[in-house]
Structure 1
Amino acid sequence: MNFLAIDASTEACSVAIKYLEQQFSEYELCPQSHSLRLLPMVDSVLKQANCKLTELDGIIFGQGPGSFTGVRIGIGVTQGLAFSAQLNARGVSTLQAMAQQAYDEKGQDKVIAAIDARMSEVYTCYFEVDEQGIMQAKTEETVLKPELVAQYYSHLSLPAYGVGTGWNAYSALTELKSNNDSPEILFPTAQAMLTIGQVDFVEHSVAAEHAQPKYVRDTVSWKKLPGRE
């Protein structure tokens, strides 16, 4: 099956395509420019694959957690493309995608993902690889104060390989990761989402209008400012 994958949930903007057993991808760190870069990147990978959108079997998108604005931009583009080509869509977790990168690129089969969620919090989840080579969540994705993360994972045998921006942002997390240096994998890629999302796509995909974000934090940031709780 042939798929397009799109992600704009973090500072990175990423697009990948699998068409006739070939893969092409575009990746760019472009904070604040996702709305300008995403469609040109989609157009680029379609041209590289010599493929039309209508020749695909579905679209895979980054559903978060991450930037509220970025997630919504990615889903908006996904919905527009999916509507136009009458394709279904499937969301993939930002955290799971980074864990998948750690397995695919580093051979790490136990991974903790931690993204800086701002407001002195992190989005985090623990993953282990399954028999299909796909990283699966073994805890709930959650948002926590950094000093509470060790307690959240107290039932696990740690440390594990760390990915994401949270490790550099909050020293309270350091002892939970096995890699001594700064994580090499900071942001998700659409290629990793492609790997995850194409497995059982038909069973897990939805019509374009039902493509939804997964914010984890369900309270918009401004509501937590002083006097606005």
Structure 2
Amino acid sequence: MNPILAIETATEALSLAVRDGDRIWERHEIAARKQAEWILPWTDGLLLDAGVNRRDLQAIAVSIGPGAFTGVRLGLSVAQGMALALNVPLIGVSTLAALAMGAVRISGAQRILAVIDARMGEVYAARFAWRDGVLMPVGAAQVVAPSNLDLSGIDAGWHVVGTGIDAVEGTLRQRLPADCANDATALPHATDVMTLADVEIAAGRLSLPEQVEPAYLRNRVALTIAEREQGEKL
């Protein structure tokens, strides 16, 4: 299905991609709290670079979390608004899956543990396996303290990617096997959101814009005053 637009704003980056035919145009940069200001002009600019009229888009894909609450809401609201206005399907994609897909694309990883810093002393985490050209989840995504994350079976055959590696003073990095490939700078890219959306499109799993919901995993956005004070005492 072409052309298609993909949006990823669930982490500290603003990542957008447009595909038309066999060509993909992507813009990916650390946004430093500028996502809301830049997302619409960047989208217009990328569509212009690709020579794609917004009305010609056949679908929109968006990263739905878990990730930063404000980023997830921003990306989803923009994607829903555009999909509704254009009357096209909206495909929601796991942010952790997009992060894992990036490891497949960049390093050929077959088994991936994707971890994103969730703040508040926790990480978002999920395991994935690349099998027969498809990224498959291995268990459910979770939000957990890095000291409590189950690392059983994680060995040299695994790639661990994401900002969660160095979260909470590098707790997870200290627990990883020394020979385990890891990249704490890895962030999800819109190109990988698009790749995962292609699987959903091929399977006919198309959603109305209003049906796509964020995957927060956690309902709180900040520690309470008492929790912050307790943390300062530790």
Global fold match (TM > 0.5): yes
CA contact (8 A) 2:5 2:19 kept: yes
Flag structure 2 segments of 5+ consecutive residues without an equivalent.
229-234
Alignment match, 2:226: 226
Q: After superposition, where does 1:1-229 map in structure 2 within 5 Å? A: 1-2=1-2, 3-132=4-133, 134-149=134-149, 152-154=150-152, 156-159=153-156, 160-170=158-168, 171-174=170-173, 175-176=175-176, 183=183, 185-201=185-201, 203-217=204-218, 219-222=219-222, 224-226=224-226
Maintained 8 Å contact 1:102/1:185: no
Change (3 A) 1:225 1:130: farther
CA distance change for structure 1 residues 161 and 43 in 2, over 3 Å: closer, same or farther? same
Say if 1:184 and 1:222 are closer, same or farther in 2 by CA, change over 3 A.
closer
* Superposed CA RMSD: 2.1
Tell me, yes or no, if the aligned pair for 2:114 and 2:161 is still in contact at 8 Å: yes
Distance 1:163 1:157, change over 3 A: closer
CA positional deviation for 1:137 = 1.1
User: What fraction of aligned residue pairs are identical, expressed as a percent?
Assistant: 31
Question: Unaligned regions of 5+ residues in structure 1, if any?
Answer: none
> Separation in 1 of the partners of 2:109 and 2:227?
44
Q: Deviations over 1:45-99 (max 9, x none)?
A: 2111111122122100010010000000001100111111111101111111111
Quickly say closer, same or farther: Cα 1:135–1:208, change in 2 above 3 A.
same
SS in 1 for 2:204: helix
Aligned residues: 223
Q: Work out the CA distance in 2 between the residues paired with 1:177 and 1:25.
A: 34
Report the Cα distance in structure 2 between the residues aligned to 1:140 and 1:161, rounded to whole angstroms: 18
TM-score by length of 1: 0.90
Is 1:112–1:177's contact at 8 Å kept on the other side of the alignment? no
Offset, 1:33: 1.0
* 181-190 vs 34-43, greater mean Cα deviation: 181-190
Can you list the C-alpha shifts for 1:156-199, whole angstroms capped at 9, x where unaligned? Answer: 35352111001122433223366667616521000011111111
Conserved in 2, the CA contact under 8 Å of 1:164 and 1:183? yes
The alignment partner of 1:116 has SS state of: strand
TM-superposed CA distance for 1:31, in Å, is: 2.3
Q: Tell me if the contact between 1:161 and 1:179 (Cα under 8 Å) persists in the aligned partners.
A: no
In the alignment, the residues of structure 1 paired with residue 51 and residue 26 of structure 2 have an alpha-carbon distance, to the nearest angstrom, of: 13
